[in-house]
Amino acid sequence: MILVTGGAGYIGAVAVRELLDKGFAVRVLDKFLYGDGPLEEVKSRIDCVEADICQLNEAVLDGVEVVIHLAGLSNDPTAEFNPEANRRMNTVATRTLAEGCKRKGIKRFIFASSCSVYDRGMMAEDFIQNEDTAVVPRAAYATSKYQAERALLELADDNFQPVILRQGTVYGWSPRMRYDLVVNTFVRSAFESGKLTVHCGGEMWRPLVDVTDVARCYLACMQADPQLVAGQIFNLSHKNYRILELAHWVKKALAGIVDVEIEVEYGSQTARDYRVETKKIERMLGFRTRVPVEESAHHMAQKIQAGINADFHNPRYYNIKWLELLVDIDAHLKRIGSIF
């Protein structure tokens, strides 16, 4: 049995299907903050546990051989919205889950961390960073992920073998679609306005990776010789892109589907800016990504053309918008009591 925490999320919904396609038994632990719709078509094939990762009942670990830990807040805006909740979900809950796994004898633990731990800001020295580069995370989200990494490595031994994947910014279509990720945002903007707006001159670098490649990588880590992956950190990215270059790739991918203009704005120097190296995962696991931005963007556009996830104003497709809406509704219900 493979446990996927956050299995109804943007990456999780794709990873769950990849596991099922490969014949694995899957259990999902998810609070379903964004609903359980992304798992609707596979619900009959999985064991679903609706629960809060911050209130772990270790019974969910019974019969589990591998944990793929994706649950938590997943970008800068949501982390800054409530830094304490971000720390509790991303750092504390990760350690608690890992300790539970260790008590249950679950050795394999794959953790979705983030390349944002490498961000030094646009004014910092530009160089390609690898897993041995000293990092000093700046933002709440990156800090919470890095602290979770440290906790996992402290627990690592012969009986607990975590693998840490520092993932680049993810792109691509998912049953739990997000339009607040840079490539996906560009595709949405193309359909909405025919314009791709690039800020800060588009000079900043970002490592990017397709969501299906991320799911494939989880399987590769699961099936690898433990001696190769235990206690290791791997960068996971398809390529480092400048944002302006990225806009041109998306424009090319959408040719014949929607006409696109690129607008470049200058000014703010606060954008994230970093590049990473992926030689380690290629060398040690033989893992290589397959899906470039242009292929993924074209596939996304085809889904939108078919009316799938095409309601761009749905707040569920934007993590911070949905979170703000839920908090507002929660506060309102506390004021008025029951609806009826």
The span from the CA of 212 to the CA of 138, in Å, is 28
pLDDT of residue 333: 87
Name the burial class of residue 318, with classes exposed (0-12), middle (13-18) and buried (19+) by CB atoms within 10 angstroms of its CB: buried
Residue tagged 């704005």 (tokens)? 265
- Do the Cβ atoms of 67 and 101 come closer than 8 Å? yes
DSSP output for 30-49: E--TT-SGGGGGGGGGSEEE
- Those residues with Cβ within 8 angstroms of residue 188's Cβ, 6 or more apart along the chain or in another chain: 179, 312
Distance of CA 138 to the CA centre of its chain: 19
pLDDT-derived band at 122 (thresholds 50, 70, 90) equals: low
Question: pLDDT tens for residues 317-331?
Answer: 999 999 999 999 989
Is a pLDDT exceeding 60 seen at residue 269? no
The span from the CA of 195 to the CA of 260, in Å, is 5
Quick one: what percent of the chain has pLDDT higher than 70?
98
Question: pLDDT tens for residues 157-194?
Answer: 999 999 999 999 999 999 999 999 999 999 999 999 99
**b/e per residue 38-74 (b: at least 16 CB within 10 A):** bbeebeeebebeebebeebeeebbeebebbbbbbbbb
Instruction: Give the H/E segment covering residue 7.
Output: none
Residue of higher predicted confidence among 138 and 276: 276
The span from the CA of 138 to the CA of 230, in Å, is 27
Question: pLDDT tens for residues 31-85?
Answer: 999 999 999 999 999 999 999 999 999 999 999 999 999 999 888 888 888 888 8
Pairing of strands 195-198, 275-276: unpaired
pLDDT-derived band at 87 (thresholds 50, 70, 90) equals: very high
Q: What is the pTM of this model?
A: 0.94
Q: What are the domain boundaries of the chain?
A: 2-322
Is a pLDDT exceeding 80 seen at residue 219? yes
Is a pLDDT exceeding 60 seen at residue 114? yes
pLDDT-derived band at 268 (thresholds 50, 70, 90) equals: low
pLDDT of residue 169: 96
pLDDT of residue 270: 64
pLDDT of residue 339: 74
Question: pLDDT tens for residues 127-162?
Answer: 899 999 999 898 899 999 999 999 999 999 999 999
Is a pLDDT exceeding 70 seen at residue 123? no
Distance of CA 325 to the CA centre of its chain: 21
Helices then strands, counting H and E runs in the chain, come out as: 12, 14
Architecture in CATH for domain 2-322: 3-Layer(aba) Sandwich (3.40)
Beta bridge partners of 194: none
On average, the pLDDT of the chain sits at: 93
